[in-house]
Structure 1
Amino acid sequence: MTANTFDAPILVLGGTGKTGRRVVRHLTAANRSVRVGSRTGEPPFEWTDERTWDGVLAGVESVYLVYYPDLAAPGAVDTVRAFTARAVAAGVRRLVLLSGRGEPAAQLSEEVVRNSGVAWTILRASWFNQNFSEDFLADFVTDGAVLLPAGEVAEPFVDAEDIAEIAAEALTGDRHAGQLYELTGPRLLTFAEATAEIARAAGRPIHYESMPPEGYAAEMARYDVPAELVGVLVDLFGQVLDGRNAYLTDGVRRALGREPRDFAEYAREAAATGVWAAPAPVDAS
């Protein structure tokens, strides 16, 4: 590939997050000009401040649309609608939306993007593998107990690397235009089984513990999860962790022509970074 860089930048909202930073890496490797949409970006971007929207959209060709804290959050669809209209008016020609599997509220935002009048791709993803290592759950794992209000429901965990690879392709070409990909990993795992995979990879005891939503909210607060996120997650888990997503799809295979990454591979690679190492003992002297 030549050293030329395409002129029109690609805006990656949530560009420092689990999928976003991987999308940025793929685009940068492909020699594309990238604009990271975040509070610390240049220019800065915040969903809650419309005054920041025009700056990040200026001259942009494609947008990776990731809404924080979640498309199921109150007011999300109205905000996505307003931003989408602003993006189209600014000349954006392609939108790639990260959506949530089994979330009726998220599908309202999907409809906004589908009806935007520009090329679109929707990535409707399952629970990310990386939630265990790059989010507040990493602290639970390190402490030796994965706490969730999930019971024994099975989930087809999907890898953020697979999502990012599809997103980067969709942002830079037309092959994925007009496609809705429902993205899962290659097998179903309960949260207890996923935790056991993590424990094997980390080489230390880590167990899964199901708990009621109100107890889970208290635990998240204890781990300093932002209050606005706690409420959204408790409501969301109450919806999607009921078995509705307990089946596999061929979305990754259709998009990339290969099988999705397996949870065990993810767990081995994450463990090798030391992210789940046991906390150092407290010196009581």
Structure 2
Amino acid sequence: SSRMTTLVCSQARCRFSSRGGFLASQMMASSSWKRPAPLLKRLMAMGVCFWRCTNLGCWICWPRRVGVESVDCYCVDNLLARIGDPQFLGYCHSQGAEVGARVVARAHAQEKVGVFATRGGELSVVEYSELTPEQASACDPNTGELQFKWSNICMHYFSVSWLQKVHAHLAQGTAYHIARKQIPSKDGPVQGIKLELFIFDPFPIANKVALMEVARSEHFAPVKNARGSASDTPDTARDAFLALGAKWLRDAGAVLELPPGRAGVEVPASVSYGGEGLRS
């Protein structure tokens, strides 16, 4: 019921010249561990959001000057990303949260998603690569569900005042995450170590974090893999999008007769934001 002004931004997978000073990740690649190659620099989109705040301190002053209280940050590779969700933003605002996140239950123990957990007494996101197989598959004896149940789907709420705290925090330096991966080179893929920063790294400095569990079928259809992969492809995301449209229409009273192989019906955002207004 209270008024609030929210700025919407995306965690777009875009690239900027490293000359601009927006360094969010460093990557080391070598064809031989005995002969390391020079340090290569590139930008990781999730980390660059806060580094840009650090390097362009004026950016975090501008929203407050124009009356913006919070930032709604969404991930562009999620086809079901609900931008500016009033239920989520209203919940975070009503709770006085500095940071908010929509979460979904993990599909299975091997799903490659970060999870929310307490680390050192503070709520954090632990990347899937930092979980041991035992931790990833551990179950709560009381419920039988995965112990680390809530996955981070990169749908976040940030108060502008908290972004100012992050600016000061990052100015003091921060730790990298280590990822051992195959890295492309002119001679083909080589073993390498990527030093990464993530958008959730500063979460522990928040005084209050609000988590809101949402239905995977309505909020999360990521595109992480190429066509032909087992999951999280453009095709699975499209099917989830069409299936949600069909659900909305059936909930509104429509009777659908879909041709074989058709997952559902597209409901454009210009027609309905979240399934409302379809009965007419």
Asked if these proteins are the same fold (TM beyond 0.5), I'd say no
Higher fraction of helix: 1
TM-score, scaled relative to structure 2: 0.28
Q: TM-score, normalised by structure 1?
A: 0.28
Q: Which has the larger radius of gyration?
A: 2
Greater RCO structure (CA 8 Å; 6+ sep): 2
The structure richer in strand per residue is 2
